[in-house]
Structure 1
Amino acid sequence: MVTKGVVSLFDSDENKISHYSKGQSIVIPAAMVNYKIVSEQSSEVFITRSDKRIIKPLSEIMQQKNVKFGTSGLRSHESKLDRAVMTALVKASLILEQQRSAYLPGQKIMVGRDYRPSSWPLQSMVEKALKECGYQMIDAGAVPTQAVAWGAKQAKVPALMITASHNPLDENGVKGYRLGGKEILKSDELDLAQVMIDITDDIYFESKSQQNNIEEKENDEKIKMLFIKRYLNRYSSQSLKGLKVGVWLYRSVGPGLMFEVLQGLGADVVTFGDENEFLSVDTEAIPTEIVNNLNEKIKEHDLDFVVAFDPDADRPILLHQKMGFIHGGQLGMLVARILKIKKVVVPFTLTRAVELSGWFDQVKRTDVGSPYVIEGMNELTPQNKFSELDGSFVKNNNSLVVGWEGNGGFLTQDLMTRDSFLPLLEVLVAYNKDPESLVKMFKELSSYVYKSDKVAGFPTSDTKKLITSLSEPRWAQDNLKELGEVSEVRKFKGAIIIIFKDEARLVLRPSGNTPDLKIYVDAVNQGADKRADQLISWAKNKAPALAKNIK
């Protein structure tokens, strides 16, 4: 806390402990639980602490509350995200921002959320914590995660997004952004964990039932409009004229805004679905019945494309009437190719077509998660040669670096977080301008089949046992005989990578957010599609039993 005038710190016996001039930081001794701060100009008591307090590092509070950081941000069952956790996380984030950028009390923090029933109560807890620390909240409302990041960048403020992404309805979490909409990276999480937090014991032990009786209020529509304009300004108003696009509606924060963008670019837009139904759609493991249903909608409404999202709308879904379902890993490749990018960053789980296609001069592989992709992009960005997507042009393609993930989220240097709108729109605009060229580009990828899936509810301990056993080449060969001869086995970033003699590849890893076994396969040459399906089927149907039998 920084003083706005001349103040003194007193203990509970009215003894003056310290004196502070205007602009100085007030430091409260950790052992002092009862104190007050008084203005010497007006004798006004503006902070009093006379209650029992708990002073611990954020990591200890998170451990005791049984919550942790996942692949990107904090996620947990909603019952564990109480006021103590939310207050501690907010305070740690603010303290770190104060230390790094002198972002002092009196300023604003942007906060957005998804449509989960628990998201608004959690945002209310965040607002209370911000007020305790002397900050104001900009309520972005229910918007895509990248809309919060973009709004924070434009407003030059830090931000928080309340969401558990594609996780089940009864889970939730927080994704953080530093000043200017810069996504919190893994190194930042390590620093956050060490921040000492001072909260009252009534907050620490407050029951969850006391925290949910909160009425939702109006939010700032300006953030939504700012986000929509990002894309309307990038393309001409007739970019999608003549194109018929379906938007799948369910309880996601993306479809409504995408509808406005598509109409603004001249598309004929058809909507379908139930916007009141919440679905936990993982774009890396979309159920076959959903893909089939969306394909039926294409036929029913004579659509060129169908677009959709996960619940917080930072992961896209795209289907075409002829090309079919376009996997997120392929979508990223198409967009980078359309933009004529030469340097790309992708997770190690993505298809080897990124290298084998010859489309890119430099490919950097990272761990799974947008924070790792961002770190990789920073490493490849030449000093003093930062380039941005600007309007409908790309400036200086040779130094521009982009990244994407298997979920379809696309990262650019002007928005360093997963963006789902840009990749969808780039493909739609390119197709509408020259459909033959885009279809030809997609066919170039057809010889590299890439698929992903998961086994939900698979204990992380079982996944780790399976990966450890498979890392032994002889054990792997003995237990994978039905899949063919194994030519290489290696552990990488907590995952197992198995390459077969026919060059097919199987990657298994534990999810960073949920007890799921994540599966990634790619295959090449004739029969690649069936080969990929064989590997997926084995991983889903036989790997769990194999893991259970490992002692």
Structure 2
Amino acid sequence: MNTSDVIKNSGIEFGTSGARGLVSDFKYEATVAFALAFLIQLKKEFKISEVAIAIDNRPSSFGIAEYCASAITHLGLNPIFYGVIPTPALAYKAMADNMPAIMVTGSHIPFDRNGLKFYRPDGEITKKDELAIVSANIDFDLSLFTIPELSISNAASNFYLERYISLLSEDFLAGQHIGIYEHSSAGRDLYAKLFRSLGAEVTSFGRSDEFVPIDTEAVSQQDREQALVWSNKYHLDAIFSTDGDGDRPLVSDEKGNWLRGDILGLLCAIELKIEALSVPVSCNTVIELTDKFTQVNRTRIGSPHVIETFHELKKSYNRIAGFEANGGFLLGSDVSYGSSMISALPTRDAVLPAIMLFAAAKDVSISSLVNALPQRYTFSDRIQNFDKNRSLKLLNDIKNNPSDFIQLLGLDAKVVNCNEVDGLRLTLSNSDIIHLRPSGNAPELRCYAESQSSEAAERLVNETLSVLLNL
């Protein structure tokens, strides 16, 4: 077999964050081909002897990890298996130990799909690295591979907890009652321990034995209503949760209203006194309106694009970060906080933005922090099982006739700007924004909207998706 041929025919493709495909696509030969191509390319740059592996709670993830371990041992390397832990925990430990890592996760997409996230010893792979993986031309004979037995090390989960426990005092969250919506999150066994170690009262709920595909950019109506019930029942100051692999946060205010991910990221960046930010084009324009940052770069959607800008920002600024509309926070430089220092973690993390929000809300409510920001509101949702080619055709038609599309929506406004940085982002004469983009991870068409009220933004998304379904 040849890695290039196997990868090309596997049905697995790189999206905005990792290689994704149906579980049925992650056959032994396909998984081995990806792992071999990644590691053999990496060995040209780094001297490596160990490779870290971790998984999420999907039923298929452990088997795929075994396939990865088979490729690792075949190359004479030692797999270090950290079990079910958040992606940022794996990345943090691997970067500290200067070794590559493979995370088996499909993140927030449905459980019939899965994926692989790859980390170099110095952090997330780039788009250039992705191209090198799919283009690698390596022959291999699968009959010569064996699957090793994997034993779990707790070193990465403990190291991740210590990152925050050592940063803050043991009474840092004293007086706060935090609910943990555990569902099937990869970090569900860590979060209550972490917040209790920082002095909070913690109540956990919602643990599921079945995988729950939480999408922090398109929170279901059921999860929105359930948060209100939990908040009222337990008298909570906040609810904390994440997506499947624990790199995208989902945090509510004291009333049980989920915060948008970019608002959470913004409040975290303000609390950390970040100087220069890098955020995707899909994030709320309130970021610039706050006038809190010297520099704000807008990128394509996906953490590799955000990270790519950090190198240039470091030439002029000391306190650098980025975040995405999904809430994942990327710390691009070491940053002082109080008398401590938070080391850089240039990959999406769910814990840091939550902790910084709770810090900012020690003497005020979370809702008051949100309400103090300039009043721009966003909402997003998606059409699932929507063919990518159909999405691309629709976007092209809208780009060529934007006025006709706005008329179909029944809006009394004109299109004043068409931004094609990532998908199609229409700015209207009434300052509303409609952003359409095919998902890079699944057959979905996403719609983001921005308006002067939360109700208007949600209505704009719902009406847009309704029209698109009938085109």
Per-residue deviation, 1:473:
4.0
Deviations 1:20-39 (A, max 9, x none): xxxxxxxxxxxxxxxxxxxx
Q: 2:25 aligns to what?
A: 80
CA distance in 2, matches of 1:171, 1:255: 21
CA distance in 2, matches of 1:424, 1:86: 34
CA distance in 2, matches of 1:235, 1:474: 51
Residue range with higher mean Cα deviation, 414-423 or 86-95 = 86-95
Residue range with higher mean Cα deviation, 134-143 or 250-259 = 250-259
CA contact (8 A) 1:330 1:445 kept: no
Change in 2 beyond 3 A, CA 1:184/1:502? same
CA contact (8 A) 2:106 2:113 kept: yes
Q: 2:104 aligns to what?
A: 162
Q: 1:150 aligns to what?
A: 92
Map 1:188-227 onto structure 2 (within 5 A). Answer: 188-200=129-141, 202=143, 218-227=151-160
CA contact (8 A) 1:469 1:476 kept: no
Deviations 1:1-46 (A, max 9, x none): xxxxxxxxxxxxxxxxxxxxxxxxxxxxxxxxxxxxxxxxxxxxxx
User: Is the partner of 1:266 in helix, strand or coil?
Assistant: coil
CA distance in 2, matches of 1:129, 1:217: 13
Q: 2:327 aligns to what?
A: 408
Cα RMSD (Å): 2.0
CA contact (8 A) 2:278 2:310 kept: yes
Residue range with higher mean Cα deviation, 311-320 or 478-487 = 478-487
Does residue 529 (structure 1) correspond to residue 454 (structure 2)? The answer is: yes
CA distance in 2, matches of 1:318, 1:446: 20
Q: 2:424 aligns to what?
A: 496
CA distance in 2, matches of 1:65, 1:445: 47
Change in 2 beyond 3 A, CA 1:246/1:139? same
Q: 2:337 aligns to what?
A: none
CA distance in 2, matches of 1:216, 1:134: 15
Per-residue deviation, 1:489:
4.3
Q: Out of 385, 391, 396, which is 1:463 matched to?
A: 391
Q: 2:179 aligns to what?
A: 246
Q: Out of 399, 412, 417, which is 2:347 matched to?
A: 417
Q: 2:43 aligns to what?
A: 98
Deviations 1:343-370 (A, max 9, x none): 1000011111111221212110111111
CA distance in 1, matches of 2:169, 2:148: 41
Q: Out of 436, 441, 457, which is 1:508 matched to?
A: 436
CA contact (8 A) 1:83 1:203 kept: no
Deviations 1:441-493 (A, max 9, x none): 32133611111111111111121111101112455356445022223242413
The one-letter code of the counterpart of 2:120 is R
Q: Out of 105, 111, 127, which is 1:186 matched to?
A: 127
Does residue 137 (structure 1) correspond to residue 79 (structure 2)? The answer is: yes
Q: 2:467 aligns to what?
A: 542
Q: 2:167 aligns to what?
A: 234
Q: 1:331 aligns to what?
A: 264
Whichever of the two has the greater Rg, that structure is: 1
CA distance in 2, matches of 1:302, 1:288: 21
CA distance in 1, matches of 2:416, 2:55: 44
The one-letter code of the counterpart of 1:544 is L
Deviations 1:34-78 (A, max 9, x none): xxxxxxxxxxxxxxxxxxxx3x3x443211122211111111001
CA contact (8 A) 1:295 1:319 kept: no
User: Is the partner of 2:175 in helix, strand or coil?
Assistant: coil
CA contact (8 A) 2:69 2:148 kept: no
User: Is the partner of 2:153 in helix, strand or coil?
Assistant: coil
Q: Out of 357, 363, 367, which is 2:300 matched to?
A: 367
CA contact (8 A) 2:274 2:321 kept: yes
CA contact (8 A) 2:37 2:133 kept: yes
CA contact (8 A) 1:308 1:316 kept: yes
CA distance in 2, matches of 1:323, 1:248: 12
Deviations 1:392-414 (A, max 9, x none): xxxxxx52110000110000021
Deviations 1:246-267 (A, max 9, x none): 1012111122211110010010
Change in 2 beyond 3 A, CA 1:520/1:460? same
CA distance in 1, matches of 2:269, 2:106: 28
The one-letter code of the counterpart of 2:350 is S
Please, what TM-score do these two structures have when normalized by structure 2?
A: 0.93
CA distance in 2, matches of 1:351, 1:520: 10
CA distance in 1, matches of 2:274, 2:207: 38
CA contact (8 A) 2:282 2:301 kept: yes
Change in 2 beyond 3 A, CA 1:494/1:302? closer
CA distance in 2, matches of 1:503, 1:474: 15
The one-letter code of the counterpart of 1:533 is E
The one-letter code of the counterpart of 1:72 is S
Deviations 1:226-251 (A, max 9, x none): 11101101111100111101101211
Per-residue deviation, 1:427:
0.7
The one-letter code of the counterpart of 1:148 is L
The answer for unaligned runs of 5 or more in structure 1 is: 1-53, 205-210, 384-397, 547-551
The one-letter code of the counterpart of 2:377 is V
Change in 2 beyond 3 A, CA 1:62/1:203? farther
CA contact (8 A) 2:261 2:326 kept: yes
The one-letter code of the counterpart of 1:347 is P
CA distance in 2, matches of 1:512, 1:474: 23
CA contact (8 A) 1:240 1:428 kept: yes
Per-residue deviation, 1:376:
1.7
Per-residue deviation, 1:494:
4.5
The answer for unaligned runs of 5 or more in structure 2 is: 333-343
Q: 2:222 aligns to what?
A: 289
CA distance in 2, matches of 1:454, 1:251: 22
Residue range with higher mean Cα deviation, 92-101 or 482-491 = 482-491
CA distance in 2, matches of 1:363, 1:323: 30
Q: 2:335 aligns to what?
A: none
Aligned length: 460
CA contact (8 A) 1:243 1:304 kept: yes
Change in 2 beyond 3 A, CA 1:520/1:357? same
Deviations 1:82-119 (A, max 9, x none): 1111111111112111111233xxx1100000011111
Per-residue deviation, 1:217:
5.2
CA distance in 2, matches of 1:329, 1:286: 14
Change in 2 beyond 3 A, CA 1:94/1:481? closer
Structure 1 segments, 4+ long, off by >3 Å, are 201-204, 214-218, 438-441, 473-481
